[in-house]
Amino acid sequence: MNKIELKEFLEAKVEEYNHPRFIETDPIQIPHQFSKKEDIEIAGFLTATISWGNRKSIITNANKMMTLLNQSPFDYVMNHEASDLEKLRPFVHRTFNEDDLIQFIKSLNHIYKNHGGLEAVFSKYSEEFSTQNAIHQFKKHFFEIEHLTRTQKHVSDPSKNSAAKRINMFLRWMVRDDNNGVDFGIWKSLTPAQLSCPLDVHSGNVARALGLLKRKQNDAKALKELDLALRKLDINDPVKYDFALFGLGVFERF
């Protein structure tokens, strides 16, 4: 395919998968249970954090998290007591366990009380066409309070050559707003032009098959290469093609 044909092909796939029915089988359904901005972003952040492995398991365990947080994640983060945190101890999703969840609640409390919230941190450090430095700075703030060393592995860092798939996915959820009812678009201080594609094994393989990506590893260098290719197709909303790459990989085994 030439560039025009490739763009038309991907645009058609975006239209096919960027649809409310996408929510039914995707972890994004968890933050869609809420209407308050802070509930949406906290539910989204926690859900994105455990979004690896079987999608049904992700959704099941993300729902368990919301139940443990009394279906009011922001209120829980801001007003919990030490005894409340002990009630989180039944939780586990793969290598993310109850100690990690407790640490995340403490760190989120710190982010909202001392840094103005999740949006404020990412907005402060984002660049014209990148949020990768913002992800790095966010991780520094997230763990600047006393924390468990083991929990650091659950927040990726582009400066350590990570593609940071889960945080980039979370940022897509919060920032994109195309009136299709999938992504939320509740963060108005950032634009889709700043976002990066959530690069994983599925989107990476499809991107290589389509000639959008040559690097074999799914790391920060590959993400930069893919970003540049997608921005040539749509500089204002390059991450919309995540729907096409993901859909082709997961649903069509492209």
Percent above pLDDT 70 for the chain: 100
Ordered DSSP codes for 53-69: S-HHHHHHHHHHHHHHT
Residue 91, pLDDT score: 96
Distance separating alpha carbons of residues 59 and 31, to the nearest angstrom: 11
pLDDT at 254 over 90: no
| pLDDT of 222 | 98
Dihedral sign, Cα of residue 13, residue 166, residue 134, residue 121: positive
C-alpha to C-alpha distances, 225 to 183, 215, 221, nearest whole angstrom? 24, 8, 6
**Of residues 254, 237, 222, 186, the one with CA closest to residue 31:** 186
pLDDT digits (tens, 9 = 90+) for 92-108: 999 999 999 999 999 99
Task: Please give the pLDDT value at position 1.
Answer: 82
- pLDDT-derived band of residue 145, with 50, 70 and 90 as boundaries? very high
**What's the average model confidence in pLDDT over 175-187?**
95
Q: What is the mean pLDDT of residues 202-227?
A: 97
pLDDT over threshold 90, residue 244: yes
Mean pLDDT over 157-186 rounds to 96
Q: What is the rounded CA–CA span in Å between residue 83 and residue 3?
A: 58
| Rounded-to-integer distance, Cα 24 and Cα 1, Å | 32
Phi, psi of 81 (to 5 degrees): -110, 170
The DSSP letter of residue 253 is -
Q: What is the pLDDT of residues 58-83, one digit of tens each?
A: 999 999 999 999 999 999 999 999 99
Confidence of residue 212 (pLDDT cuts 50, 70, 90): very high
Calculate mean pLDDT across residues 11-35: 96
Tell me the whole-structure pTM to 2 decimals.
0.96
CB 19 within 8 A of CB 12: no
Q: Which of 218, 217, 209, 222 is nearest to 253 (CA)?
A: 209
Judged by DSSP in three states, 163 sits in coil
Q: What is the mean pLDDT of residues 194-218?
A: 97
Handedness of CA 12, 231, 173, 213 (dihedral sign): positive
Residue 185 Cα distances to 144, 160, 221, 229, 246, angstroms: 28, 28, 27, 24, 20
HSE-up (13 A, CA, CB side) for residue 52: 15
Tokens linked to 74: 């922001």
Q: By the 8 A CB rule, do 169 and 184 touch? A: no
